[in-house]
Amino acid sequence: MTGSLRPFHLAIPVDDLAKAQQFYGELLGCERGRYSEHWVDWNFFGHQLVTHLVDTMPSVPPSNQVDNKAVPVPHFGVVLSMSDWQGLAQRLETLGMDFVIKPYIRFAGQAGEQATMFFHDPAGNALEFKAFADLTQLFKV
């Protein structure tokens, strides 16, 4: 693929649209787009995230070990600038976010060094936000 990076589209299940509004709209600051009584489109940091109302959330699969941490699978998120990541981490810590993995630097001093944090939305969907001091490390092995 050439040219500018294109936004991704991701649809996820939620069991309460009002809680999704509070989490994605108010807590994370995502702009709400089109919506109905069954779904809401969100501007998720420039990407299209859709929360679809379901009666029952799917069962959560186990985690996977990464850097000696139990990373929830599946998960999704976005790579932020380091200053945006630090601001979000500080805001969530101040608000008492119940982190799955608290903000920290993963792979410190190694290829792929990154800031990362994991938490769940109210429906149990796992999110990861990360940042690189050096974005060229994004795909380093």
Using one digit for the tens of pLDDT, what is the confidence trace for 99-126?
999 999 999 999 999 999 999 999 999 9
For the chain, state the CA radius of gyration. Answer: 16
**Residues whose CB falls within 8 Å of the CB of residue 32, separated by 6 or more in sequence, listed in order:** 21, 24, 25, 40, 41, 42, 43
Is residue 47 pLDDT above 80, yes or no? yes
Task: Enter the tokens of residue 136.
Answer: 């060229």
Q: What is the pLDDT of residues 54-82, one digit of tens each?
A: 999 988 677 999 999 999 999 999 999 99
Is residue 1 pLDDT above 70, yes or no? no
Domain 65-141: homologous superfamily in CATH: 2,3-Dihydroxybiphenyl 1,2-Dioxygenase, domain 1 (3.10.180.10)
pTM above 0.85, yes or no: yes
Task: Tell me the CATH number for domain 1-54.
Answer: 3.10.180.10
How far is it, in rounded angstroms, from Cα 44 to Cα 41? 9
**Domain segments of the chain as ranges:** 1-54, 65-141
Domains 1-54 and 65-141 share a fold: yes
Q: Are 115 and 105 in contact (CB under 8 A)?
A: yes
